């Protein structure tokens, strides 16, 4: 289905199909509305920059925003697009932790564990960071990071990531 309200900026192409293919390979098959959202979110202008600098979906809870829409975008940024820092923020710590667990499973589906907290994805070694104070991933080759956190008035301030994902943008 098409959204009731939608704005589509002018674009010359999209990298959304890269995210869709990667998600499918990892075990997520985006639904048509999610695939359309990824294509829009990742559309590019003539100068090669993002056509949509910001992107939002307004849906009820448990409708597929995290797994089918946001996770493929973050995977593509981390593994394919060369984005150096992806910050994933959720309103609650438990929500961020569940997203981290899902991302870990998807990365494992794409590659193979080669040691404690290391995943090899076609020659790209990813370190899984899972401590009490930090959850995320670090690429060993480029040092790119994907960081998961709970959103609050103090946490996350000062981050200047390539991609900032706000999962469940409540309050």
Q: What are the tens digits of pLDDT across the range 55-113?
A: 777 666 656 577 788 999 999 999 999 999 998 888 778 888 899 999 999 999 999 99
Q: Count of alpha carbons within 13 Å of 95, Cβ hemisphere only? A: 18
Q: Which helix (H) or strand (E) holds 86?
A: strand 85-90
Mean pLDDT score of the chain? 87
Instruction: Name residue 39's beta-bridge partners.
Output: none
Q: For the segment 142-170, what is each residue's pLDDT rounded down to a tens digit?
A: 999 999 988 765 555 555 667 888 777 66
Residue 5 confidence (pLDDT) above 80: no
- Cα-based distances in Å from 27 to 32, 48, 115, 159: 16, 29, 22, 30
**Looking at residue 170, what is its pLDDT?**
60
> What DSSP state is assigned to residue 48?
S
What is the model's pTM? Answer: 0.88
* Contacts with 130 (C-beta within 8 Å, 6 or more apart), sequence order: 100, 104, 117
């Amino acid at each position: 289905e098409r959204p009731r309200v939608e704005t589509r900026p002018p674009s010359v192409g999209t990298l959304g199909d890269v995210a869709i293919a990667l998600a499918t390979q990892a075990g997520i098959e985006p639904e048509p509305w999610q695939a359309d959202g990824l294509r829009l979110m990742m559309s590019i202008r003539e100068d090669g920059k993002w056509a949509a600098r910001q992107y939002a979906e307004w849906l009820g809870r448990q409708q597929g925003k995290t797994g089918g829409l946001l996770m493929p975008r973050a995977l593509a940024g981390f593994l394919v697009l060369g984005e150096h820092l992806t910050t994933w923020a959720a309103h609650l710590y438990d929500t961020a932790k569940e997203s981290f667990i899902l991302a870990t499973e998807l990365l494992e589906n794409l590659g193979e564990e080669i040691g404690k907290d290391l995943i090899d994805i076609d020659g790209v070694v990813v370190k899984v960071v899972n401590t009490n104070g930090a959850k995320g991933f670090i690429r060993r080759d480029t040092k790119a990071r994907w960081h998961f956190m709970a959103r609050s008035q103090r946490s996350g301030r000062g981050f200047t990531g390539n991609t900032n994902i706000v999962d469940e943008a409540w309050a």
